[in-house]
């Protein structure tokens, strides 16, 4: 069996690097074997399923095929159909719960799996084998042909997630469904829903109506997050929104149909300003003027990762009413979300207000603890106890390790991979989601071209991620996740732009065997998926076509280095105040820049046509980059 597995990996690597142009799948399957011929989808084709559990997948596939083709494609029970969905009678251990085989020939397509999840993922692969126009929502005339191929596929990790923050900016029910639908096509199976924070409480809690009457709304503000004006007394709170219980049930059902589990996050004890705006008595200062934050500068961050809150945003760990409040919240959250986890945040909890509070000091004395930081461990243990009474497990950001947590708690490692390594060595299950590889809100291209942000993350870096660090037992690494925080993301269209194509890269990180990963081949497949995204009207970044501008200092000279993520691009530049084109100097090796007030202009070409953004940087900009990665 071991020899067979490595043969399949070798074959996958070979076919992954030399696929024909009709097979451009993301994420890359374990094995792709091109065959002779092709299959053309015809009007009236049937999708047959052999067991009732496969009906839902067949119905969804029939709908997706019928919409852009205009064909009448029906799902039907039985074993005769151009497309057949087969659940095994005897499980294939290699495929597991989510794996599948797909074989297409001139006669049709057969997808086989142990469970409906595998059939669903096989159906996503089938869709990717068809022309890009299959992703559209209007009828299109096309040759609906897919190549003959034999595919064996199953995921590397069981947790393949994306997080969407809906607190900083609210996204409607239909927008959330659209976002989930696109993720499911990439074989993501987890949607982490960040529902509460300082900037808005987004989930209806019927027993605590002020959470949405007050906490879901803030004053309208434009401009960069962190630079906006404070709310004025009596100013109307017109921006926001929330999801009712019925909304959530609808979204959960929608996700379940696409094999996606929704993990809700209620971020405590920090990041709770929206909750305190609704119920100020739950803080230590009990400030009745607390408001939902519209994006003001409410904290001071220091270079060593520490910070100070200028406004209280933490729940009071010494107040029993806080735990009564949380019991009500988690009762309703647990009722709405059927999965085993509730994410409770635990990150960036400022404890300065606790240190000044007599009640917290008394609690510390009672617990015989010397450091105020240890109050978070007490708080989290109380929260975990509440969750257990609801039949749920605690999941939190890696700060939850600092106060001591039970062995049942699961850790999301976001501050690099260090917290995940520590948690795994302690026997905790871990989801790897480090800023260094998985933060989708970071700039993905040239800083002078894209809107300003404090950090960058290119797709090639995301693609290089391995969620299992050296020296860690893989059994503790559940998988990984990309995170999209939305301080600077006000619309779904821009959320898509920031998500893709980096989420394509991460989908391959989390699904495909690491042995089949190949950047050059992946970059070529990304271009084909740009066409699919265009057909689906999904926004994405083209930053991989832009030049990467680096500088260093050699003696008293400033040295320029240029490169690109996309292989095979030509890079042209000018330093003489002319607009560069393919007749300008072509970059071939590092360049010592002359002294003086020069301006660098850089553009990429392919096949003698411009393809990337024009990048313009003055000498001072270039000098500041010296020494940067």
296-324: average pLDDT: 93
Collapsing DSSP states into helix, strand and coil, what is residue 313?
A: coil
Report phi then psi at 37, rounded to 5. 95, -170
- Residues 308 and 429 occupy one common structural domain: yes
Among 128, 153, 178, the domain boundary falls at: 153
Q: Note whether residue 535 is domain-resident.
A: no
CB atoms within 10 A of CB 504: 22
Q: How far is CA 598 from CA 112, 138, 575, 582, in A?
A: 62, 51, 6, 20
pLDDT band at residue 4, thresholds of 50, 70 and 90? very low
User: Is 256 found in the same domain as 387?
Assistant: yes
Q: Give dist(CA 350, CA 376) in Å, integer.
A: 10
Determine, yes or no, domain membership for 600: yes
**Nearest alpha-carbon partner for 124 in 189, 217, 196:** 189
Q: What is the pLDDT of residues 347-372, one digit of tens each?
A: 999 999 999 999 999 999 999 998 99
* Residue 533 phi, psi dihedral angles, 5° rounding: -65, -40
Tell me the pLDDT tens digit for each residue of 143-195: 999 999 999 999 999 999 999 999 999 999 999 999 999 999 999 999 999 99
Please give the span between the terminal C-alpha atoms of the chain, in angstroms, as a whole number: 43
Q: What is the pLDDT of residue 183?
A: 98
User: Based on the domain organization, do 293 and 313 belong to the same domain?
Assistant: yes
**479 and 338 within one domain:** yes
**197 belongs to the catalytic site:** yes
Instruction: Please check the confidence at residue 629 and state whether its pLDDT lies above 60.
Output: no
Residues 378 and 278 in one domain: yes
Instruction: Report cis status (omega within 30 of 0) of the bond before 527.
Output: no
Confidence of residue 457 (pLDDT cuts 50, 70, 90): very high
Query: What gap in Å lies between CA 177 and CA 253, rounded to an integer?
Result: 10
Q: Retrieve residue 464's tokens.
A: 């290089």
Q: Tell me: do 457 and 503 sit in the same domain.
A: yes
- Please identify, among 98, 131, 153, the residue that sits at the C-terminal boundary of a domain: 153
CATH code at 144? 3.30.379.10
Task: For residues 207 and 265, state if they share a domain.
Answer: yes
Last residue of a domain, one of 129, 153, 177: 153
pLDDT of the residue at 5: 41
Asked if pLDDT for residue 121 goes beyond 70, the answer is yes
Rounded-to-integer distance, Cα 526 and Cα 522, Å? 6
| β-pair partners for 200 | 197
pLDDT for position 16: 39
Same domain? For 472 and 573 the reply is no
Domain presence at residue 532:
no
- Please check whether residue 523 lies inside any domain of the structure: no
CB 392 within 8 A of CB 406: no
**Taking 60 as the threshold, does the pLDDT of residue 105 lie above it?**
yes
What Rg do the C-alpha atoms of the chain give, in angstroms?
A: 26
Tokens at 404, concatenated: 């001591």
User: Inter-axis angle of helices 245-257 and 173-185, to 10 degrees?
Assistant: 20
Residue 427 CA, chain-centre distance (Å), reads 25
> Residues 498, 459: contact at Cβ < 8 Å?
no
For 588-611, what is each residue's pLDDT tens digit? 999 999 999 999 999 999 999 999
Tokens of 394: 């605690």
Residue 38: inside a domain: yes
Is 529 a member of any domain? no
**How are beta strands 393-397 and 341-345 bridged, if at all?**
parallel
Closest CA to 626 of 564, 575, 552, 565: 552
Three-state SS string across 328-349, please? HHHHHHHHHCCCCEEEEECCCC
Per residue in 538-592, pLDDT (tens digit) is: 999 999 999 999 999 998 899 999 999 999 999 999 999 999 999 999 999 999 9
Q: Which of 197, 247, 332, 357 is catalytic?
A: 197
Residues 6 or more apart in contact with residue 289 via CB below 8 angstroms: none
C-alpha angle 352-354-357 in degrees, rounded to nearest 5: 115
Nearest to 82 by CA among 122, 118, 111: 111
Q: Are 605 and 545 in contact (CB under 8 A)?
A: no
481 pLDDT tier (thresholds 50, 70, 90): very high
Instruction: For residue 29, give the nearest of 43, 18, 41, 13 by alpha carbon.
Output: 13
Residue 27 near residue 512, CB atoms below 8 Å = yes
505 to each of 174, 224, 389, how far by Cα in Å? Answer: 25, 28, 39
Furthest-apart CA atoms within the chain: distance in Å: 78
Name the pLDDT band for 10 (thresholds 50, 70, 90): very low
pLDDT at 548: 97
Q: Between these two residues, 402 and 60, which has the higher pLDDT value?
A: 60
271 flagged as catalytic = yes
Cβ-contact 153, 31 below 8 angstroms: yes
Query: Closest Cα partner for 296 from 487, 520, 24?
Result: 487
Residues 582 and 615 in one domain: yes
CATH, residue 470: 3.20.20.80
Q: Could you tell me which residues come within 8 angstroms of residue 540 by beta carbon, excluding any fewer than 6 positions away?
A: 496, 497, 499, 500, 501, 530, 533
Question: Is 346 within 8 Å of 400 (Cβ atoms)?
Answer: yes
CA distance linking residue 454 with residue 223, whole number of Å: 16
Q: What is the CATH number of the domain that holds 588?
A: 2.60.40
Quickly count: other Cβ atoms within 10 Å of residue 53's Cβ: 13
Which structural domain, as residue segments, surrounds residue 452? 159-512
Number of domains present in the structure of the chain: 3
Distance CA 297, CA 482 (A): 26
Determine the length of the chain.
629
Backbone angles phi, psi at 531, to 5 degrees: -65, -40
Structure confidence at residue 117 as a pLDDT band (50, 70, 90): very high
In a domain, 9, yes or no: yes
Of 169, 192, 271, 343, the active-site residue reads 271
One domain for residues 456 and 559: no
DSSP class per residue in 362-420: HHHHHHT---TTHHHHHHHHHHHHHHHHTT-EEEEEGGGGGG---TT-EEEE-SSSHHH
Looking at the structure, tell me whether residues 148 and 233 fall in a common domain. Answer: no
Task: Reply yes or no on whether the pLDDT at 628 is more than 70.
Answer: no
pLDDT at 19 > cutoff 70: no
According to the 3-state scheme, what is the secondary structure of 225-293? CCCECCCCCCCCCCEECCECHHHHHHHHHHHHHCCCEEEEEEEECCCCHHHHHHCHHHCCCCCCCCCCC
Q: Do residue 271 and residue 418 come from a single domain?
A: yes
Going by pLDDT thresholds of 50, 70 and 90, the confidence category of residue 405 is confident
Per-residue pLDDT at 31 exceeds 60: yes
Any domain includes 539: no
Residues 92, 181, 348, 373: which is the catalytic one?
Answer: 348
Report the C-alpha dihedral over residues 255, 173, 330, 278, rounded to 10 degrees. Answer: 170
Contact assessment for residue 69 and residue 47, using Cβ atoms and an 8 Å cutoff = no
């Amino acid at each position: 069996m071991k020899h067979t597995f490595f043969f399949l990996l070798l074959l996958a690597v070979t076919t992954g690097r030399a696929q024909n142009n009709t097979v451009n799948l993301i994420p890359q399957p374990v094995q792709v074997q091109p065959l002779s011929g092709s299959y053309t989808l015809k009007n009236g084709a049937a999708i047959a399923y052999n067991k009732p559990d496969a009906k839902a997948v067949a119905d969804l596939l029939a709908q997706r095929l019928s919409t852009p083709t205009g064909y009448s494609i029906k799902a039907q029970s039985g074993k005769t159909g151009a497309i057949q969905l087969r659940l095994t009678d005897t499980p294939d251990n290699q495929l597991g719960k989510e794996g599948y085989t797909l074989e297409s020939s001139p006669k049709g397509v057969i997808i086989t799996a142990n469970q409906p999840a595998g059939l669903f993922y096989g159906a996503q692969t089938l869709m990717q084998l068809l022309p890009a126009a299959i992703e559209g929502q209007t009828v299109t005339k096309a040759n609906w042909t897919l190549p003959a191929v034999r595919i064996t596929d199953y995921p590397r990790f069981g947790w393949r997630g994306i997080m969407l923050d809906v607190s900083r900016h609210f996204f409607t029910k239909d927008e959330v469904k659209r976002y989930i639908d696109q993720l499911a096509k990439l074989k993501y199976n987890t949607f982490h829903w960040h529902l509460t924070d300082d900037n808005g409480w987004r989930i209806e809690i019927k027993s605590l109506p002020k959470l949405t009457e007050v906490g879901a709304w803030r004053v309208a503000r434009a401009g960069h997050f962190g630079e906006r004006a404070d709310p004025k007394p009596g100013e109307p709170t017109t921006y926001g929104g929330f999801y009712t219980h019925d909304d959530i049930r609808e979204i959960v059902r929608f996700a379940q149909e696409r094999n996606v589990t929704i993990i809700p996050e209620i971020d405590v004890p920090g990041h709770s300003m929206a909750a305190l705006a609704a119920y100020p008595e739950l803080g230590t200062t009990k400030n009745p003027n607390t408001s939902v934050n519209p994006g003001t500068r409410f904290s001071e961050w220091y270079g060593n990762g520490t910070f100070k809150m200028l406004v209280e945003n933490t729940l009071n760990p010494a107040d029993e009413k806080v735990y009564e409040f949380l019991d009500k919240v988690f009762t309703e959250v647990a009722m709405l979300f059927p999965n085993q986890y509730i994410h409770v945040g635990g990150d960036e909890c400022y404890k300065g207000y606790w240190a000044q509070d007599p009640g917290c000091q008394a609690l510390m004395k009672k617990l015989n603890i010397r450091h105020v930081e240890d109050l978070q461990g007490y708080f989290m243990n109380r929260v975990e106890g509440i969750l257990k009474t609801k039949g749920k497990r605690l999941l939190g950001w890696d700060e939850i390790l600092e106060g001591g947590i039970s062995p049942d708690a699961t850790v999301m490692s976001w501050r690099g991979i260090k917290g995940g390594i520590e948690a795994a060595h302690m026997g905790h299950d871990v989801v790897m989601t480090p800023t260094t590889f998985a933060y989708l809100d970071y700039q993905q291209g040239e800083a002078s071209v894209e809107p300003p942000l404090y950090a960058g993350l290119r797709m090639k870096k995301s693609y290089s991620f391995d969620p299992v660090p050296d020296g860690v037992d893989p059994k503790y690494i559940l998988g990984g996740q990309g995170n999209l925080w939305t301080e600077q993301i006000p619309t779904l269209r821009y959320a898509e732009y920031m998500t893709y194509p980096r989420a394509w890269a991460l989908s391959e990180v989390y699904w495909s065997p690491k042995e089949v990963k190949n950047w050059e081949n992946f970059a070529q497949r990304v271009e084909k998926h740009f066409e699919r995204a265009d057909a689906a009207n999904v926004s994405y970044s083209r930053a991989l076509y832009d030049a990467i501008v680096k500088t260093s200092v050699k003696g008293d000279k400033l040295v320029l280095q240029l490169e690109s993520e996309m292989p095979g691009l030509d890079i042209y530049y000018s330093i003489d105040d002319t607009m560069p084109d393919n007749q300008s100097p072509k970059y071939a090796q590092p360049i010592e820049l002359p002294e003086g007030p020069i301006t660098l202009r850089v553009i990429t070409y392919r096949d003698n046509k411009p393809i990337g953004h024009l990048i313009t940087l003055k000498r001072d900009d270039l000098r500041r980059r010296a020494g940067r990665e």
